Amino acid sequence: MSSLLTLLLLPLSWLYAGVMAVRNVLYRIGLKPSVRFPEVTVINVGNLRVGGTGKTPHVAWVVNWLRSQAQHPALLSRGYGRRTRGYRWATTEDTAATIGDESLQQFRHFGGEVPVVVSEDRVAGIRQLLHDEPATTAVVLDDAYQHRRVRPQVNILLTEQERPFYDDFVLPAGRLRESRRGAVRADVVIVTKCPPFLSATIRQEITRRIQRYAQPAVPVLFSCYHYGVAVPLTAKAPAELGGDIVVLTGIARPEPLLEHLRTAGYRVVHHVRFPDHHAFTQPELEQLAAQLGPGQCVVTTQKDAARLLEPALAPLVAALPVLYIPIEVRFLADGEARLAELLAPYFQPHAVV
């Protein structure tokens, strides 16, 4: 967005930010009610900015850590992009259309061993989840930082290193859902998508700028993506990725994936790019197939792979050599230990946090 357009839109941003500020005050003083669930630990992973900040792999990290501590976590999100309504418990019969692409990705990632639930009403969703699965000890909320009706015990705020919230403006001049001061509700801030060897000097400067808006004692951690070995999605795909590739994405920011592929030595001959959560269509896949040269493969993300598995697309997708690149979160310096230290007291017997 140009500087001139940003300036022209700032009055609308101030108005929107004011409305959100009043809303937050009403929740803080109790005129708008929020619900706490003392019988279970609720952990929210969210952001201030519209667009991808890496929530899905960070949610997966939290769930994996909980399982390593012998806890029984469940995942709850609104199921963005789904075509259904109400409370829904993910099963093997579900698709991205019924529970959303991110929820489907998580369900498949954990092999159905972790309950994944979608519900627009998070309060009702948590209550129903605890009724359906009373052994649940932790509920991980995906993208509920602005959903003030639920009061989590732990609020994890994510912000990208290249697009930090403190350099952004509220919609429509920028991409923030609320003002930068919303960071004050965070119990920990994680700066995501960092280079693996981000210097201590840069980390200190970023921390200083974040702490202008967050609580002074709040930990600021740094994470990066670790890309795994390409996984065949279809029978036509080779066992290993090689040669020239066509990249297919429908995510907010495909640039880190493209950089990884190029650094790894692959030649990206074409990038077919769609908006975040894009629902692929048959004509789009037919056009993709026509663009493939001899020996070329289609490389996509794990999130996009979930949407490619829609039943209506099955014949077209099955005819394509498609692989997806899994990712996981890794922390810089002592970030992993510090996050575990923050979470651990909530799961110690008789602890009062």
DSSP 144-185: -TT-TTB--SEEEEEEESSS-GGG--BTTTSSBSS-GGGGGG
- Neighbour-count burial for 293-328, b at 16+ CB within 10 Å, e otherwise: eeebbbbbbbbbbbbbebeebeebbeebbbbbbebe
**8 Å CB contact between 221 and 274:** no
Asked whether 175 and 50 are in contact (CB, 8 A), the reply is yes
In a domain, 145, yes or no: yes
Q: pLDDT value at position 350?
A: 46
| Residue 42 counted as domain residue | yes
193 with 119, same domain: the answer is yes
**Are β-strands 88-89 and 116-118 bridged in parallel, bridged antiparallel, or unpaired?**
antiparallel
Residue-number span of the structural domain to which 259 is assigned = 229-325
Integer Cα distance of 173 and 169 in angstroms: 6
Same domain, 152 and 286: no
Same domain, 203 and 238: no
353 in any annotated domain: no
Q: Are 194 and 292 in the same domain?
A: no
For the entire predicted model, the pTM comes to: 0.93
The predicted pLDDT at position 252 comes to: 87
Indicate if 294 and 187 belong to the same structural domain: no
- pLDDT score at 241: 84
Per-residue confidence (pLDDT) for residue 291, from 0 to 100: 87
Q: Is the dihedral of CA 265, 269, 271, 272 positive or negative?
A: negative
Check whether residue 13 and residue 48 sit in a common domain.
yes
> Do 37 and 162 belong to one domain?
yes
pLDDT per position in the chain (353 positions), as tens? 667 778 778 888 889 889 999 999 999 999 999 999 999 999 999 999 987 789 999 999 999 999 999 999 999 999 988 999 999 999 999 999 999 999 999 999 999 999 999 999 999 999 999 999 999 999 999 999 999 999 999 999 999 999 999 999 999 999 999 999 999 999 999 999 999 999 999 999 999 999 999 998 999 999 999 999 999 999 999 888 877 999 999 998 899 999 999 999 999 999 999 999 899 999 999 999 998 989 899 999 999 999 999 999 999 999 999 999 999 999 999 999 999 999 999 997 645 45
Q: Which residue has the tokens 């692989």?
A: 323
Distance separating alpha carbons of residues 273 and 224, to the nearest angstrom: 23
Same-domain status, 37 and 81: yes
Q: Is residue 174 one of the residues assigned to a domain?
A: yes
CATH number assigned to the domain comprising residue 177: 3.40.50.300
Please give the pLDDT value at position 52.
77
Q: Is residue 148 part of a domain?
A: yes
Asked if 186 and 76 sit in the same domain, the reply is yes
| pLDDT the model gives residue 349 | 65
313 and 221: one domain?
A: no
φ/ψ of 130, rounded to 5, equals: -70, -30
Inside any domain, residue 263: yes
Q: Is residue 179 part of a domain?
A: yes
Distance, CA of 316 to chain centre: 28
**Same-domain check for residues 262 and 126:** no
- In the chain, how many domains are there? 2
Is residue 352 assigned to a domain?
A: no
**What share of residues in the chain are helix, strand, coil (percent, to 5)?**
35, 20, 40
* Distance of alpha carbon 327 from alpha carbon 317, whole angstroms: 22
Structure tokens at 157: 């705020």
Question: The domain that contains 234 carries what CATH number?
Answer: 3.40.50
Tell whether 49 and 66 lie within a shared domain.
Answer: yes
Give the pLDDT of residue 1. 60
